[in-house]
Structure 1
Amino acid sequence: MSGDDILAPRAGVIGWPVQHSRSPRLHGYWLKQYGLPGRYDLLPLPPEDLGGFLQELKRSGQAENFRGVNVTIPHKQAVLPFLDEIDHAAKRIGAANTLILREDGSLFGQNTDGYGFLQNLRESQPQWQPSAGPGLVLGAGGSARAICVALLDAGLPALTIINRSPERAEALAKALDDPRVSIGAWEDRADLLEGAGLLVNTTSLGMSGQPALDIALDALPIQALVTDIVYAPLETGLLAAARARGNLVVDGLGMLLHQGRPGFAAWFGQWPEVTPGLREAVLAD
């Protein structure tokens, strides 16, 4: 067989826009580190083309050795009707971020965002346990939903959702349908920190180019863990303030890195590790 007949495994990330994604840098690093043949590409895909792309992937993807794709905004929910099977997390969250093309041409969908979030906390601060105390989640978007599901499944005793738009917080709490979940008013966010064991920011506040997150941490117990899913900047104002007062902190980059591991393993046959070298490579300009 000629070299052209032996296609390297292929994967990529679909989104609109998608140029900002760091996933090619992440998967490219792993392919090089483990000496594996393979390609991982940016795949810009407007919403109106999503169905056609997925149908074509199922029809002819195997012939091109296409193994699957990551899914980012705005397609995470829209892909679900096109999938043949989804995992427990994707079903509960109502969104998929990792698609695996099986040998029979069917598409299996996963949501690895919650996995990535928890692995980041556990590896960065192994002494933290979900049972340590109640959690507060700022924000009620797709990432918040994945994180809430992961925390509840991990045994968090109580969870309060606080969002600038109370309607979105109410909708998320209703969807989670768990007696441990409550809603807090945005204007009461500082007071609600009392007794918390975990504070999670899933909003864009504090991200480069966005307004700062305005929250006083005085009521937050010193033993509480503070994490921000923002990774640009790597240390947000929230993390800097929490670190200065003695709280354990975890930045958001690890969530991105860990959520990519299950997909890479399925597509390229190697369970990858998150290392300091990987962090540097993904953050490099």
Structure 2
Amino acid sequence: MTIKGTPLAGVLQSPEEPGTVSPIYDHWLSVTGAVGRYVPLTIRPDDLGDVMRLLPKIGFVGLNITGPFQHMILEHADIITDRAALMSGANTIIFRPDRKIHADNTDGYGFIENIRQHAPGWNPKAGPAAVFGAGRTAREVVTALLEVGVDEIRIANRTRPRAEALRSEFGMRIVVHDWVKAGNILDGAMTVVNATPLGARGKPEMRVPLDALARGAVVNDLVVNPPMTRLLSAAIEAGCYPVDGVGMMLYQAAPSFERWFGHKPEVDQAARHAVLSQFSE
């Protein structure tokens, strides 16, 4: 696997949760002319410490982190950014030249940047936000929304205690609603986010009533495949600003690529096509 003098990066995943390796890094390596390789790494959680010590020695400059490793990786980091600490997990590792392990989380940045690029007039203070879901992705969304000044975040999750846990941690700006009345969180909400897998290919459809979508709201579905979901179709019909999940994937990946390989990648139509191409094969 090692090529002398070639910087290596990869995605760390567990055997229980193997994921699809995004082609975006190979795309950016090709179009920027950066020297490097991006590879998948599947390891057991018990081997994490040994792997983290080994990888820099064989030419790795960084990692993407998935699943259960996002929290575990913090135990092995020398430097943890405020963003990673706040989210209790890292999605990006940089192996620094001084051999220190730098842990960061770019998901919140990717989420906000995607909205700003596709809904340039978005004002996070324009009204409440409505978030479907209360898992790790929802936590990242909530953290990012609070940072940009959203005054009220309504959360509906199929398991209410997970939503209550977010309110306990983040305070009274979080308002929890029962899932059976999830459609109610849309009333007057000017930012709407689906942070669940509902509506993704192979998953159950999102059956939440959407008739309360407010005209002019920004509606972001973090589902990537398919990029056009029932929620986004309803948003278009309601006169909302639809934002799909592909952009978040790209904008969270761009800072990692730049840190690892020293080239700033473009988030453009070619990059978007590179991501979507994996679902058409």
Hey, what does 2:233 align to over in structure 1? 240
Distance 1:165 1:5 in 2: 47
Which residue of 222, 225, 229 corresponds with 2:215?
Answer: 222
Hey, what does 1:154 align to over in structure 2? 148
Tell me if the contact between 2:83 and 2:105 (Cα under 8 Å) persists in the aligned partners.
yes
Hey, what does 2:105 align to over in structure 1? 111
How far 1:161 moved relative to its partner? 1.4
Note the 1:1-285 alignment, pairs <5 A: 6-17=4-15, 20-23=19-22, 25-57=23-55, 61=56, 63-176=57-170, 178-284=171-277, 285=281
Letter in 2 for 1:46: R
Tell me if the contact between 2:213 and 2:238 (Cα under 8 Å) persists in the aligned partners.
no
Letter in 1 for 2:43: L
Tell me if the contact between 1:234 and 1:251 (Cα under 8 Å) persists in the aligned partners.
yes
How far 1:27 moved relative to its partner? 0.8
How far 1:6 moved relative to its partner? 4.7
Distance 1:273 1:148 in 2: 27
Tell me if the contact between 2:257 and 2:264 (Cα under 8 Å) persists in the aligned partners.
yes
Tell me if the contact between 1:22 and 1:282 (Cα under 8 Å) persists in the aligned partners.
no
Tell me if the contact between 1:8 and 1:37 (Cα under 8 Å) persists in the aligned partners.
yes
Distance 1:120 1:154 in 2: 14
SS of the equivalent of 1:278 reads: helix
Distance 2:269 2:92 in 1: 24
Distance 1:5 1:267 in 2: 16
Cα separation, partners in 2 of 1:82 and 1:246, compared to 1, 3 Å: same
Distance 2:128 2:260 in 1: 37
Q: Percent identity?
A: 41
Cα separation, partners in 2 of 1:5 and 1:115, compared to 1, 3 Å: closer
Listed as ranges, the gaps of 5+ residues in structure 1 are none
Q: In the TM superposition, what whole-angstrom CA distance separates every residue of 1:243-276 from its partner, at most 9, and x where no partner exists?
A: 1222111000111111011111110011212010
How far 1:22 moved relative to its partner? 3.6
Cα separation, partners in 2 of 1:47 and 1:5, compared to 1, 3 Å: closer
Cα separation, partners in 2 of 1:5 and 1:45, compared to 1, 3 Å: closer
How far 1:38 moved relative to its partner? 0.5
Q: TM-score, normalised by structure 2?
A: 0.94
Aligned residues: 276
How far 1:41 moved relative to its partner? 0.5
SS of the equivalent of 1:249 reads: strand
Distance 2:238 2:123 in 1: 21
How far 1:56 moved relative to its partner? 2.2
Letter in 1 for 2:217: A
Letter in 2 for 1:99: I
SS of the equivalent of 2:193 reads: strand
Tell me if the contact between 1:113 and 1:255 (Cα under 8 Å) persists in the aligned partners.
yes
Letter in 2 for 1:20: G
Tell me if the contact between 1:116 and 1:258 (Cα under 8 Å) persists in the aligned partners.
yes
Tell me if the contact between 1:161 and 1:173 (Cα under 8 Å) persists in the aligned partners.
no
Q: Which runs of 4+ in 1 moved over 2 A?
A: 17-23
Cα separation, partners in 2 of 1:8 and 1:187, compared to 1, 3 Å: same
